[in-house]
């Protein structure tokens, strides 16, 4: 994140100029800005209040604001000891100082929310987590490694570490985008724009735990478990992909269970039909919570996949397979249905690239306040959430949205949620102001909050103000409730601060 910001008007000839015969692209939108960005993984060891030892693994994506400062979303999860299921979601701010051609010093502060595995000896309080770090990094091309000193603490609980060694691996890249003011225009680009993913998918499925699977309490599981989640994919060649997925329990009495995995896969045309494809995928990552015994938290997954690419753009998938926690008592087969919405795709040679339509995308931070939330012990309390949110226009008036977050204020530390759905919005009104409404569904649980099996829904109406070309402030009111029970039905107020950019829908 130390390179200067540049624009592709002067540096990227791959942004094609229009030709006289190319009427739809008489004045094509062009990539507006390139900002340095980085994908960074971190490993931090710590001692827990009950005397055990664990380590937090993290993945963060940060975009540079200028030559020295970066900011972006990330998550942390336990990956060592018998603590699988402690997760937080939040944001990292980072300042860098150049020391030499291939070394830099970085000071970081992560602010997130979450928790898990609470007990009388281990309390996460409201769920707010802070992690400051000072580290020295060595660069080798786009890659860098580092070692530093950090501390993890939940200020309203008793979970905190002393100064501890941390280890970092990162990769520098670019965040390429169109101006959000170009939304709706035709455009071309010789590379992916935005976050660089080609599609987002919404997942719903059922699992059948093996007889050997146990809760942390030693009891067997219910017969079946339901899960809901989402994934992001990038296709690196025809039928070959990598990506990330996250899901939570939505049925089966293990509310609070969550998993985050990285995956790779390959599929091939079936019966010579390129739209109907069969293949397989592998995944690995972290999971736990909901009294599920995943040991240290590591999960492995493998199985076949069947994909149909519709003529209209979206894809429909059926995934099956097997998930296993190597250090825990958790093994299950699964079957799930997936609806995938296209975001971008691998660019072709610019002379043959048909281009696409610029759509506005937003990523940012959310704070939600829910009064009168019911707990399993019978009390009611106001709970505040911190979340990462992502939205993407599918047309001028319809958009998709996703949120992932956790409780940060109150006494519901370890409560987490993931939601996705659709919204409608007006055209920009006075001063760029917009009005809209959205409906989200997903999974939630943990922290002692009553959520039935974990399936939840959220409806909201909102107003959004344009603070700058790429900065948006949104305020909304709505309602949150459990879908399979009457455990929760509470109002909410919601405030978002988002960064807006343009990306192609090809």
CATH hierarchy code of domain 8-14+35-176: 2.40.160.20
- Separation between Cα atoms, residue 432 and residue 450, nearest integer Å: 40
Fill in the DSSP letter of residue 122: -
Within 10 Å of residue 333's Cβ, how many Cβ atoms? 14
70 to each of 73, 93, 157, 453, 503, how far by Cα in Å? 11, 6, 29, 39, 21
- Domain 8-14+35-176 and domain 197-342, same fold? Reply is yes
- The pLDDT of residue 352 is 60
pLDDT in tens, 414-425: 899 999 999 999
Higher pLDDT, 252 or 327: 327
Domain ranges of the chain: 8-14+35-176, 197-342, 356-505
Report the topology of domain 356-505: Porin (2.40.160)
- Separation between Cα atoms, residue 202 and residue 187, nearest integer Å: 27
pLDDT in tens, 496-505: 999 999 988 8
pTM of the model: 0.87
The string of DSSP letters for 284-321 reads EEEEEBTTB--TTSEEEEEEEEEEEE-TTS-EEEEEEE
Asked whether 287 and 84 are in contact (CB, 8 A), the reply is yes
Asked whether 382 and 370 are in contact (CB, 8 A), the reply is yes
Q: Which of 17-26, 368-377, 456-465 has the lowest mean pLDDT?
A: 17-26
Fill in the DSSP letter of residue 8: H
Fill in the DSSP letter of residue 67: S
Within 10 Å of residue 205's Cβ, how many Cβ atoms? 19
- Separation between Cα atoms, residue 37 and residue 392, nearest integer Å: 20
Burial of 471 (0-12, 13-18, 19+ CB in 10 A): middle
What is the average per-residue pLDDT within 425-437?
A: 92
pLDDT band at 318 (very low <50, low <70, confident <90, very high): very high
Q: Which residue, among 217, 213, 243, 242, has the nearest Cα to 322 in the 3D structure?
A: 213
What is the average per-residue pLDDT within 253-276?
A: 91
Mapped to the 3 state alphabet, what secondary structure does 141-160 carry? CCEEEEEEEECCECCCCCCE
pLDDT band at 354 (very low <50, low <70, confident <90, very high): low
Residues facing residue 95 across a β-bridge: 69, 107
C-alpha angle 474/390/9, rounded to 5°?
95
Q: What backbone phi and psi angles, to 5 degrees, belong to 194?
A: 70, -140
Within 10 Å of residue 500's Cβ, how many Cβ atoms? 22
Q: pLDDT at residue 30 above 50? A: yes
Residues 6 or more apart from 403 whose CB is under 8 A from it?
Answer: 366, 387, 388, 389, 390, 417, 418, 419, 420, 440, 442
Q: Which residue, among 236, 235, 248, has the nearest Cα to 199 in the 3D structure?
A: 235
Asked whether 291 and 217 are in contact (CB, 8 A), the reply is yes
Report the topology of domain 197-342: Porin (2.40.160)
Coil vs helix vs strand at 183: coil
Q: Which residue, among 503, 394, 412, has the nearest Cα to 113 in the 3D structure?
A: 412
């Amino acid at each position: 994140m130390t390179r200067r910001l540049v624009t592709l008007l002067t540096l990227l000839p791959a942004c094609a100029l229009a030709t006289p015969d190319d009427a739809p692209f008489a004045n094509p939108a062009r990539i507006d800005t390139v900002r340095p960005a980085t994908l960074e993984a971190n490993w931090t060891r710590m001692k827990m209040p009950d005397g055990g030892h664990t380590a937090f693994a993290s993945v963060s994506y940060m975009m540079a604001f200028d030559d020295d400062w970066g900011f972006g979303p990330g998550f942390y999860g336990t990956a060592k000891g018998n603590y699988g299921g402690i997760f937080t979601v939040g944001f990292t701010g980072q300042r860098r100082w150049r020391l030499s051609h291939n070394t830099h010093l970085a000071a970081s502060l992560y602010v997130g929310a979450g928790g898990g595995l609470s007990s009388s000896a281990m309390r996460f309080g409201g769920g707010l987590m802070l992690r400051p770090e000072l580290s020295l990094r060595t660069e080798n091309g786009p890659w860098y490694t580092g070692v530093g000193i950090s501390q993890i603490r939940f200020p309203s609980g008793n979970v905190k570490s002393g100064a501890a060694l941390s280890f970092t691996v990162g990769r520098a890249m670019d965040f390429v985008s169109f101006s959000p003011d170009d939304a709706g225009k035709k455009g071309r680009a010789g590379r992916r724009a935005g976050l660089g993913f080609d599609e987002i998918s919404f997942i719903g499925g059922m699992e059948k735990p093996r007889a050997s699977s146990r809760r942390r309490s030693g009891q067997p599981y219910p017969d079946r478990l339901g899960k809901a989640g989402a994934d992001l994919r990038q296709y690196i060649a025809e039928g070959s992909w990598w990506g990330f997925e996250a899901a939570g329990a939505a049925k089966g009495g293990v509310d609070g269970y969550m998993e985050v995995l990285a995956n790779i896969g390959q599929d091939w045309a079936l019966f010579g039909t390129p739209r109907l494809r069969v293949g397989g995928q592998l995944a690995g990552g972290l999971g736990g919570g909901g009294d599920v015994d995943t040991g240290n938290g590591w999960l492995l997954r493998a199985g076949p996949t069947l994909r149909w690419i519709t003529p209209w753009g979206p894809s429909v998938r059926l995934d099956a397979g097997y998930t296993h926690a190597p250090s825990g008592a958790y093994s299950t087969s699964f079957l799930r249905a997936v609806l995938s919405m296209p975001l971008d795709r691998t660019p072709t040679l610019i002379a043959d690239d048909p281009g696409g339509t610029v759509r506005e995308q937003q990523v940012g931070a959310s704070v939600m306040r829910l009064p009168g939330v019911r707990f399993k012990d019978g009390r009611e309390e106001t709970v505040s959430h911190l979340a990462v949110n992502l939205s993407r226009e599918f047309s001028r008036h319809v958009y998709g949205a996703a949120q992932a977050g956790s409780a940060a204020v109150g006494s519901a530390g370890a409560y987490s949620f993931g939601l996705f759905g659709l919204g409608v919005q007006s055209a920009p009104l006075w001063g760029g102001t917009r009005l809209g409404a959205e409906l989200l569904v997903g999974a939630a649980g943990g922290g002692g909050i009553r959520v039935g099996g974990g399936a939840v829904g959220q409806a909201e109406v909102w107003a959004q103000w344009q603070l700058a070309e790429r900065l948006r402030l949104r305020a909304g009111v709505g309602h949150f409730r459990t879908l399979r029970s009457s455990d929760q039905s509470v109002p909410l107020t919601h405030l978002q601060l988002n960064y807006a950019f343009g990306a192609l829908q090809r």
